[in-house]
Structure 1
Amino acid sequence: MTGSVTFTPSETDYVGAIRANFVFAMRRRRTLRPIAITALVFAAIGAGVGLTDGSPAWAAVYAFAGLLYGAVLFGLIYLTSYLLLPRRAGRLFRQQRSIQQSFEYRWSDAGLEWSSAQGAGRFPWSDLHGWRETKPAMLIYMNDTLFQFLPRHAFTHEAADDLRATMERAGLPIY
């Protein structure tokens, strides 16, 4: 089945899609692994400092303090990035005039097509990396970080179901 949506992205749409992608990216194993390793390094440093006192009990206390320090540090970095993201994304949206115009997205079993006043493109489903449905937008990934976003408000219930079913039929993984 073929379907389509037409929309003009707003700054709110863009910021919502960028924020949804950020939250998703921070939950991926690829992001969590370095955070866990860094927290464990802080714990090891804390244990080493505690062992200089000669007491295993103090080593455990310092290790826990190091682990807590690492977790709090990354939490603050994550929170700061999350809070600053709307400002950054909004500025990028205002700078890029090519995404401030009307887009039409069409899909079929062959793939996803888009067109605007600036141009057009086609992505066979096999060339796409995956997709994710979020509250603000449907995100369709070309790779781990590059994605097309289709705002949820642009879809009728039937169109959203059709796109979802088409991607599932094509074997495009939920990312």
Structure 2
Amino acid sequence: MTEGSGNSGNTRFTVTLGESDLVEAFRLNARRAAIRPLVLAAVLVTALLVLLLAISPLARQSLTSRPLTLMLEGALALAALLLLLAVLVRPLIFRKLAQRSLAQRADLAGPVEWEFGAEGIRHTTIHSDSRYPWAALRGWRENEAVLLLYIADNLFYIVPKAQVGTDVVDGLHRAIAEASLRER
């Protein structure tokens, strides 16, 4: 990693993405705030059904005697099992996706040079040299390990925070705030 300022007052640094960086980025990208209302609705419906079963003897009898109710129970159990399986397998999927991405894309596996300043970002790999003004970016997101800069709704650049100093991350935060880039 090299850090410093360019001639125009821009900050420059170089990182090399590893498997864990990609896994973190995929995990962070998959986190969607739009799912929270659906989860809340599912919890609310489940709570109402449990309450109905607790106060209604007819509902409890229906659980074991009506074919339609038994089919619905089976469908709900299958849906819950599939959801649990997806949650358990998700880390494996992200790891395999990261491994495959690094094996197939030399631009991800090699050094990535960054430059940012008031006018925007520059992202350079062995195959590309991209410049984006801040206004062209779709947003940003971060966790403790990575900072993602979105160039499209589901296409992002990864800054692994462990490879850059806090000065660089703080500088990125300031540039993002000055550009009024929205957090996703």
Q: Normalized against structure 1, the TM-score is what?
A: 0.74
Aligned length: 163
Deviation digits for residues 80-124 of structure 1 (CA, Å, limit 9, x no counterpart): 123332023212211111212111111112111112332211111
For the residues of structure 2 that align with 1:100 and 1:32, how far apart are their CA atoms? 37
1:19-168 matches, within 5 Å, as: 19-22=27-30, 24=31, 27-30=32-35, 33=38, 55-59=58-62, 70-168=79-177
Choose 1 or 2 for highest CA Rg.
Answer: 2
Distance 1:132 1:93 in 2: 22
Task: Determine if contact 2:19/2:99 at 8 Å carries over to the other structure.
Answer: yes
For residues 32 and 93 of structure 1, the distance between their equivalents in structure 2, rounded to whole angstroms, comes to 35
Deviation at 1:152, TM superposition (A): 0.8
Quote how far apart the aligned CAs of 1:5 are: 1.7
Deviation, 1:69, is 5.0
Gap runs ≥5 in structure 1: 48-54
Give deviations 1:17-55, integer Å, cap 9, x for gaps.
223323x2xx43158639967xx7xx99xx9xxxxxxx3
Residue 137 of structure 1 deviates from its aligned partner by: 1.1
When the two chains are superposed, the root-mean-square deviation of aligned CA atoms in Å is 3.5
In the alignment, which residue of structure 1 is the partner of 2:12?
4
**One-letter identity of the residue aligned with 2:59:** P
Q: Distance in 1 between matches of 2:90 and 2:41?
A: 18
2:152 is paired with a residue whose SS is: coil
2:3 aligns to what? none
| 1:173 equivalent among 172, 176, 182 | 182
Percent identity, please: 25
Whether contact under 8 Å (1:5, 1:154) holds in the other structure is no
- The answer as to whether partners of 1:15 and 1:89 remain within 8 angstroms in 2 is yes
Q: TM-score, normalised by structure 2?
A: 0.71
Q: Distance in 1 between matches of 2:20 and 2:40?
A: 30
